[in-house]
Amino acid sequence: MALKVGVPNLFIKGWMEEKFAQAVQEAAQKACGWKGEVLFSVASDLFQDMRAEEAVARSEPSPAAAETPATRVEPQEANPRMCLDDFVVAQCNQLAYAAAMEVCFQFEPAFNRLFIHGGVGLGKTHMLQGMWQKLRDQTCDGQAIYTTAEKWTNHYIYALTSNRLEGFRQKYRTVKYLLIDDVHFLKNKQGIQEEFLHTFDALDSSNKRIILASDSHPHDLEHVTKNLITRFLSGMVAKLDAPDEATRERILRTKMRRTRYRLPDDVLAYMAEYADVNIRELEGLVTKIVALASLNRAPITVDLARECMADLSHTRSAVVTIKDIEHEVSEATGVTRSEMHSKRRTRLVSRARHICMYLSRQLTHKSCRDIGSHFGGMKHSSVLSACKSMQERLEEDADLARMVSRLKDKLGG
Ligand code: ADP
Ligand code: MG
């Protein structure tokens, strides 16, 4: 094992090895008691930081930078499948959507900066691409830029290393609408963040409109400078939540409009009900179902969909359904499914309902909101507290614990 010390480039690596190996060795021992080998290794992040810091300080690339081969910067392409017409607006995204519309299309918007955050596959890119495409249709070319933070970074490095910094800054600091996706890419890249901050400030000071998207809230972006986080928080911040079942179904239907396939309603409903929340996976699933059906010259049925879904990596839990759970709980408790869905609150019925909710949380990918809406529009907080109190009762009541454990085994959990 060796202690690795990051350095920005080969030149500095050689220099450190030659002149400072002994000093670093001693410092490592002093700081953390390390007595083993010390190695210097080139870290690309440090290289980028160094370039960016030099450029910010002098506004021109260093001679060493000019030696770096320039990377070609591909222009961002519009994805026609991600137009605004195909974006389903629902409770999970309506705040972010309304805020983005405000920033892009209001004459005098209430705010001109928006930070959208949410997990993978929840529609951040679709929303930004959609806004951008609509802006491009409505405004003169070049007034709106959509790009990813990664492409923006590549463009910056390219500009730095090919003496085109002026043009780069002119482009990004004067555009009317700047939409940057996957901002979390800037993590750990201090020099790049510095340039980004200047871009942000230049746009903001002239009231230009900025929309950023990231996989996490600004506060949760680690290794991003405080200055930048403050800027991200200074505008509107909106979250994308996971779509509920009804929204997933609407999204699937919208997607199907663009294909030549027709999936029967019950298959669509089944997929929306039992698939994971990630819509990207749902799309893959459609392709698979259609391919299998045409290979086997078989009709597209719920059974086929179930078979395809059982092959997914998270299979087992994805195919245990709330209905399966209700069926087993009903067998075990004698409370019928319709009683569970009724307003009855007798001890037996409530207990059966709570067992169902508890097992649904444990054995399916359903969110509390999904489970709540399955049980006639119960609030997600009520589902959460039902599950909590069930957990507590299981610790106190051995008979109940045995029954729930048997149910779990039966359902394959
Ligand atoms: P993210 O960028 O948040 O990871 P994407 O925007 O790439 O997610 O969305 C993943 C897939 O889900 C895409 O095919 C996208 O079209 C689809 N999608 C997500 N949300 C919606 C929505 N509200 N309406 C229509 N399609 C959606
Ligand atoms: Mg994305």
What ligand is nearest to the CA atom of residue 148? Answer: 2
Cβ(242)–Cβ(277) below 8 Å: yes
Compute the distance between CA of residue 234 and CA of residue 111 in angstroms, rounded to an integer: 10
DSSP state, residue 60 = S
- The strand ranges marked E within 205-294 are 209-214, 236-239
Atom of ligand 1 nearest to the CA of 90: 23
Query: What averages of pLDDT result for each successive group of 10 residues across the chain (413 residues)?
Result: 81 77 84 83 72 52 41 76 95 96 95 94 95 89 91 94 93 96 94 96 96 95 94 96 88 84 87 71 81 87 83 55 90 92 90 94 83 87 91 91 91 73
Question: What's residue 90's pLDDT?
Answer: 96
* 212-to-93, 147, 218, 258 alpha-carbon distances in Å: 15, 10, 11, 28
Return the bridge partners of 236, or none: 114
User: In what order do the strands lie in the sheet containing 113-117?
Assistant: 144-148, 177-181, 209-214, 113-117, 236-239
Residue nearest ligand 1's atom 18 by CA: 123
Question: What's residue 244's pLDDT?
Answer: 85
DSSP state, residue 109 = -
Question: What's residue 192's pLDDT?
Answer: 95
Q: Of 30, 260, 216, whose CA–CA distance to 118 is shortest?
A: 216
Decide whether any atom of ligand 1 lies within 6 Å of the 256 Cβ.
no
Q: Please choose from 147, 211, 253, 280 the residue to mutate so as to test ligand 1's pocket, defined by most ligand atoms within 8 A of CB.
A: 280
Q: Please choose from 279, 282, 286, 287 the residue to mutate so as to test ligand 1's pocket, defined by most ligand atoms within 8 A of CB.
A: 279
Question: What's residue 140's pLDDT?
Answer: 65
Question: What's residue 154's pLDDT?
Answer: 93
What ligand is nearest to the CA atom of residue 118? Answer: 1
Q: How many A from CA of 256 to the centre of ligand 1?
A: 14
Crossing angle of helices 380-396 and 347-363, rounded to 10°:
100
What ligand is nearest to the CA atom of residue 126? Answer: 1
Q: How many A from CA of 110 to the centre of ligand 2?
A: 26
Tell me, yes or no, if the pTM score tops 0.75. Answer: no
Q: What is the pLDDT of residues 325-356, one digit of tens each?
A: 999 999 999 999 999 998 888 999 999 999 99
Compute the distance between CA of residue 23 and CA of residue 40 in angstroms, rounded to an integer: 13
The residues, ordered by sequence, that sit 6+ positions from 122 with a Cβ below 8 Å of its Cβ are 92, 93, 240, 241, 242, 243, 277, 279
Decide whether any atom of ligand 1 lies within 6 Å of the 280 Cβ.
yes
Structure tokens given for 360: 């649904």
